[in-house]
Each structure stands twice: as C-alpha cells, then as structure tokens.
Structure 1
C-alpha cells in the first residue's frame, strides 16, 4: 500500500477555472493516472473520494475534478449542466494531465459513472491519448433512457425545459427542476434514484438539488452508443441488472459494440449501490485487477 498526498489543482478552461484534487502516490516510478468526474449534477466530494483514495493507495495518480458551474470550479449560472461544456472540461483535463511531468502520460485512464461514463466512452471513441476506460452504469442512450420516464410527466418536463431554454436566450433567470423528488416533476423520477442521491450527497457542501431545465432536451438527444464501435482501447464496463435509469438491454448492446475491447460485468444491484458496502468493495477489486492488467504501477 502506497502513501500519497492530495494537492489542489486549478486548470483554465475557456474563461473559467476547473478545480480538482491531484492524488499523488509516493512511488519510485512515474505513475499512471486516472482522471475522474461525477455523474449528473454531483460534486467530486459525493463518494468519489473513496474510489480515488483506493487507487492512490494502489500506486496510481488520480485527478478528480468538478465541472464548470459546479463545486470548486467557476462559471455562471451555478449548477448548470451543459453536456457540451462538460465534454469540453474532459478534453481540457486530458490535455492538462498529458502535459504533467510528474505522471506517465502513456498510462492515462478515464473513469466515469452514469452520465460521466457516457462521456468517457465518447472520449475513447475519438481520442488516441487514452490507454483505458472504466465505465460504471454508463448513460449511453438518452432516447432509450427517456422511455423509462413516466409518460404523464414527459410533456410537462419538455414544456419547462423549452421555457428555460428560450428564457436563457434573452437573459432570464433559469427555470429549474429538481434532480430527484418524491411525487413531483423532476429529472429522475424513480424511488431508488431519490434514495440513491440522498445516500451520496455530502452535507458539508452546498447542493440545491435543482438544475436549469433546459438540459432535458439534450439528455434525450445524447447517444454515445452510436460511436462505441470506434473504441480500440481496453474498457471495463460494469452494469446494474436492476437499474431503473439505464435499461439493461442498452448496456448489453453497448458492450457488444465495444467488443473485443470490453471486459463486461453485470451485477445484481441498483444504480447507486456501487457507491456502498459490498458493491463498492467488489467494484474496487475488479477495477484494480483491470488496472494492473492493462496499466500497471511499475
């Protein structure tokens, strides 16, 4: 087990600054590095630190960052989810990490969960500087996930999204929707999602639980599954059999598209279980095996 330090990292992205934590293991060799960011509307402190610590103890460097508009990063309006801006932030962090002298830039791994797992798979389909990807419950097909959305709520959600989109064009304050809620209009209207978010949010960090509604349209149109056949690097893909957000059939189709580069796992868990208890321990064990096989600490 390696000792490690955690250093603040600030990286320019357009007019804004991305805040990150740089986990640096104490090793004789330049370590490989894992770049991590969260899923929908979360801060880096929402349970990702527990993963980062385990990788650093195993001898891997980690860069764990907040998207623009979130957490320690700058940008307004606060708590805006822009798929394109977040993808741009991934590209910015990848370029920054590749230029750092303290790590082995031939060993860069992207780590994502849910929405960010969709991002890292898309990145792997178009980028040659990535050596491996770890994707957990990836959001790969917004059109299919939208079919999980209650039909009686869909027209209302689209209406609010449209109003927020048009209002933003003329400088109006955002119209927001809750990420999760009990018995009201929200982005993820499933009981396990409500409990899941409650289980990962960190009370020491501000989180309103709402985001501008304009992104709803973009979720439906976001379909990284269309590009997965281009991936030619090792991918660890973990799917949940009892996932109410990501249809299992879509995960299987995505994994088939990535073959022969994919190591695919299906576990008897729900979407948020991977953050907790035995599923977290199982995930870390499988992840470290994958890393040691394809990246290595030496």
Structure 2
C-alpha cells in the first residue's frame, strides 16, 4: 500500500477555474494518472473520494475535479448543468494533466460514473492521448433512458424543459426542477432514485438539489452509444442489472459496439448501490485488477 499526498489543483477552463484534488503516490516516480468526475448534478465529495483514495493507495495518481458552476469551481449561474461545457472541462483537464511533468502522460485513464460514464466513453472515441477508460453504470443513451421516465410525467417535464430552454435564450432566470423528489416532477423520478441519490449527498457541502429544467432536453438527446465503435483502447464497463435509469439492453448494446476492446461486467444491483458496501468493494477491486492489467503502477 502506497502513502500519498492530496494537493489542491486549480486549472483555467475558458473564463472559469476548475477546482480539483490531486492525489499523488509518494513512492512512485512517474505514476499513471486517473482523471475522475461525477455524474448528474453531483460534487466530487459525493462518494468519489473513497475511490480516489484506494487508487492512490494502489500507486496511481488521481485528479478528481468539479465541473464549472459546481462545488469549488467558478462560474455562474451556480449549479448549471451544461453537457457541452462539462465535456469541455474534461478536455481541459486531460490536456492539463498531459503536460504535468510529475506524471506519466503515456498512461492517462478516464474514470466516469453515470452521466460522466457516458462522457468518458464519448471522449475515448475522440481523443488520442487516453490509454484506458473505466465506466461504471454509464449513461449511454438518453433516448432509451427517456423511455424509463414515467409516461404520465414525461410531457410535463418536456414542457417545462423547453420553456426554460427558450427562456435562457432571451436571458430569463432559469426554471428549475429537483434532481430527485418523492412526489413531484423531477429529473430522476424512478422509485429507488430519491433514497439512492440522497445516499451519496454529502451534507457538509452546499447542494440545492435543483438544476435548470433545460438540461432534461439535452439529456434525452445525449447518446454516447452512437460513437463507441470508434473506441480502440481498453474499456472496463460495469452495468447494473436492476438499474432504473439506464436500460440494461442499452448497456449490453453499447458493450457489444465497443468489442473487442471492452471488459463487460453486469451485476445484480441498482444504480446507486455501487457507491456503498459490497458493491463498492467489488467495483474498486475489479477496477484495480483492470488497471494493473492494462496500465500498471510502474516504479
């Protein structure tokens, strides 16, 4: 087990500053680096630190960051989810890490979960300086996920989303929807999602639980599945068989489209269970095995 340090890292992304934690193993000269960020409307402190610590203890450097508008990163309006901006933040962090002398820029790994799992698959189909990808419970097909949305609420959600989308174009204040809620219109209304999402929220960090409704419009059109055939690097893909947000059929189809470069695992769990207990331990163990096989710790 390696000792490690954690340093704050601030990186310019267009007009904003991205805040990150840089985990550096003390005894590895030029470690491989894992770049990590969270899914929809989540902060880096929402159960991702536990992954980062274990990777650092295993001898890998980790850069764990917040998107612009979120957490320690700058940008207004606060808590805006822009898929385009978040993908750009990923590209910025990858470019920054590639230039750091203290890490091995020939061994860059992208790690994503849920929405960011979709991002890292998207980026792997596009970028040439990434060596491997870990995607757990990734958001792969917004059109398919929309079919899991309660049909009686879908038209209302689309209406509010389009109103906010049009309002944003003329400078109106955002119309917001809760990320999760028990008995009202929200982004993730499936039965197990309120308890699941709230189980990862860290109460010590500001989080309103609401985001602009226009994001719904963008999410259902976001389909990483369409480009994954271009991926030619090792991918670890962990899917949840009882996932109420991401259809298992779309996960399977995505995995077959990545073949032969994919190592696919399908576990009998719900979407948020991978952040806790036995599933968390299994995920970290599986991910470390994948890293050791394809990347290696080095000296």
Q: Shared fold (TM-score greater than 0.5)?
A: yes
Write out the 4+ residue segments of structure 1 that deviate beyond 3 Å after TM superposition. Answer: none
Listed as ranges, the matches of 1:93-108 within 5 Å are 93-108=93-108
Q: Using the alignment, how far apart are the partners of 1:224 and 1:285 within structure 2?
A: 26
Q: TM-score, with normalisation over the residues of structure 1?
A: 0.99
Higher alpha-carbon deviation: 258-267 or 167-176: 167-176
Alignment correspondent of 2:112: 112
Shift of 1:29: 2.3
Q: Using the alignment, how far apart are the partners of 2:232 and 2:156 within structure 1?
A: 41
Q: Deviations over 1:65-121 (max 9, x none)?
A: 000000000011100000000000000000000000000000000000000000000
SS in 2 for 1:177: strand
Q: Please state if 1:204 is matched with 2:200.
A: no
Alignment correspondent of 1:167: 167
Listed as ranges, the matches of 1:160-239 within 5 Å are 160-239=160-239
Decide whether aligned partners of structure 1 residues 62 and 28 sit closer, same or farther in structure 2, where only a CA change above 3 A counts: closer
SS in 2 for 1:84: helix
Alignment correspondent of 2:2: 2
Q: Please state if 1:273 is matched with 2:278.
A: no
Shift of 1:169: 1.4
SS in 1 for 2:125: helix
Shift of 1:33: 0.2
Shift of 1:191: 2.1
Alignment correspondent of 1:75: 75
Shift of 1:164: 0.9
Alignment correspondent of 2:13: 13
Q: Using the alignment, how far apart are the partners of 1:273 and 1:196 within structure 2?
A: 7
Q: Using the alignment, how far apart are the partners of 1:207 and 1:197 within structure 2?
A: 12
Q: Using the alignment, how far apart are the partners of 2:28 and 2:51 within structure 1?
A: 23
Q: Using the alignment, how far apart are the partners of 1:192 and 1:40 within structure 2?
A: 16
- Ranges in structure 1 where 5+ consecutive residues have no aligned partner: none
SS in 1 for 2:70: coil
Q: Deviations over 1:107-157 (max 9, x none)?
A: 000000000000000000011100000000110100000000111111111
Q: Using the alignment, how far apart are the partners of 1:8 and 1:110 within structure 2?
A: 19
Shift of 1:297: 0.5
Alignment correspondent of 1:27: 27
Decide whether aligned partners of structure 1 residues 107 and 158 sit closer, same or farther in structure 2, where only a CA change above 3 A counts: same
Q: Using the alignment, how far apart are the partners of 1:270 and 1:250 within structure 2?
A: 16
Higher alpha-carbon deviation: 127-136 or 19-28: 19-28
Q: Using the alignment, how far apart are the partners of 2:32 and 2:180 within structure 1?
A: 36
- How many residues get paired? 298
Alignment correspondent of 2:130: 130
Alignment correspondent of 2:158: 158
SS in 2 for 1:133: strand
SS in 1 for 2:271: coil
SS in 2 for 1:272: helix
Q: How large is the RMSD of aligned CA atoms in angstroms?
A: 0.6
Higher alpha-carbon deviation: 254-263 or 27-36: 27-36
Alignment correspondent of 1:140: 140
Shift of 1:28: 3.9
Q: Deviations over 1:170-191 (max 9, x none)?
A: 2111100000101110001012
Counterpart contact for 2:28–2:59, Cα < 8 Å = no
Counterpart contact for 2:5–2:24, Cα < 8 Å = yes
Alignment correspondent of 2:42: 42
Q: Using the alignment, how far apart are the partners of 2:277 and 2:151 within structure 1?
A: 34
